[in-house]
Amino acid sequence: MTLLELKDVTAFYGPVQVLEGVSLTVPDGGAVGILGANGAGKTTTLRAISGTVRAGGSILFEGKDIRGSKPEKVAAMGIAHVPEGRGTLGGLTVRENLRVGAYLRRDRKGIESDIEYCLDLFPQLRDRIRSNGSALSGGEQQMLAVARAIMAKPRLLLLDEASLGLAPSTAKSVYEAIGRLRRESGIAMLVVEQNANLAFTLVDSATVLETGHNAITGSTAELRGMDEIRRAYLGG
């Protein structure tokens, strides 16, 4: 079943149009990648879904058009956005950040057991549970940003460049944890990533954006086999 479907989505910053018709489909429980150079419109595509940029076209979530919905409403429907730059709260501790992620929930026991799950998924956070967000390393902040999103119990996770600025080994362990989350929870994922090698460890298919529109879409295996993808995104 299809969970999310974008059809000819456009987006604007003021009068400037930056998406010119982006289409993609995320199956229920599936993971789909968005690749592309800097400025191609990857972040804006996620913002169009989460309601933080003015958008046209249609954005169907569970068959309902959510385009133009307010960000709080989109979040309440089960879409959690891990933004570029992470957006963890520096003045709050790790545990407080996790509780903030669950602010729409009322099931106290479920919240506590999901905090445990997050700390199991990212053991480094357990060691830092009382630390302020601002005291964490870049990798720990990224783990916290993902964990906080999980705390909302979403059906769909929007991930924006989770590997950005991280050492390769840290980026790999973040993606391994997200892969485990995917297998264990069935949460669907739309994954923006410039590092296609990492993205391909997680996603089943991907679309490449070029200046605000889809250039190439295919399964991970198809994309890996294409010379232009290998040259541009896989280092040879």
**Contacted by 210, from ligand ADP, Mg ion, none: CB < 5 to 8 Å by type:** none
| Residues numbered 68-127 forming contacts with Mg ion, rule: CB under 5 A | 84
- What is the largest distance, in Å, between two alpha-carbon atoms of the chain? 51
Contact map string, positions 17 to 56, toward Mg ion, x by CB under 5 A? -------------------------xx-------------
Query: Under rule CB under 5 A, how many of the chain's residues touch Mg ion?
Result: 3
Instruction: Compare residues 43 and 205 and give the one whose CB is closer to ligand ADP.
Output: 43
- Contact letters for ligand ADP, residues 6-45 (x by CB under 6 A): -------x--x-x-----------------x-xxxxxxx-
Tokens, residue 220: 């991970």
* Residue ranges in 163-202 that form contacts with Mg ion under rule CB under 5 A: none
The closest alpha carbon to 145, from 197, 80, 192, belongs to 80
Please state, in angstroms and rounded to a whole number, the distance separating the CA atoms of residues 151 and 71: 17
Least separation in angstroms between CB 130 and ligand ADP: 34
* Amino acid identity, position 44: T
Nearer to Mg ion, 162 or 178 (CB): 162
Q: Where are the beta strands (DSSP E) in the chain?
A: 2-13, 16-27, 31-35, 54-61, 64-65, 79-82, 156-160, 188-192, 205-210, 213-219
**Residues 40 to 99 in contact with ligand ADP, rule: CB under 6 A:** 40-44
Residues 60/4, Cβ–Cβ less than 8 Å:
yes
Q: How far apart are CA 217 and CA 207, in angstroms?
A: 4
Tell me whether residue 38 or residue 169 sits nearer to ligand ADP (CB atom).
38
- Please choose which of Mg ion, ligand ADP, none residue 62 contacts, taking the beta carbon within 5 to 8 angstroms, the exact cut-off set by kind: none
Residues 63, 43: Cα–Cα separation, whole Å: 23
Q: Which residues bind ligand ADP (CB under 6 A)?
A: 13, 16, 18, 36, 38-44
Q: Which residues bind Mg ion (CB under 5 A)?
A: 42-43, 84
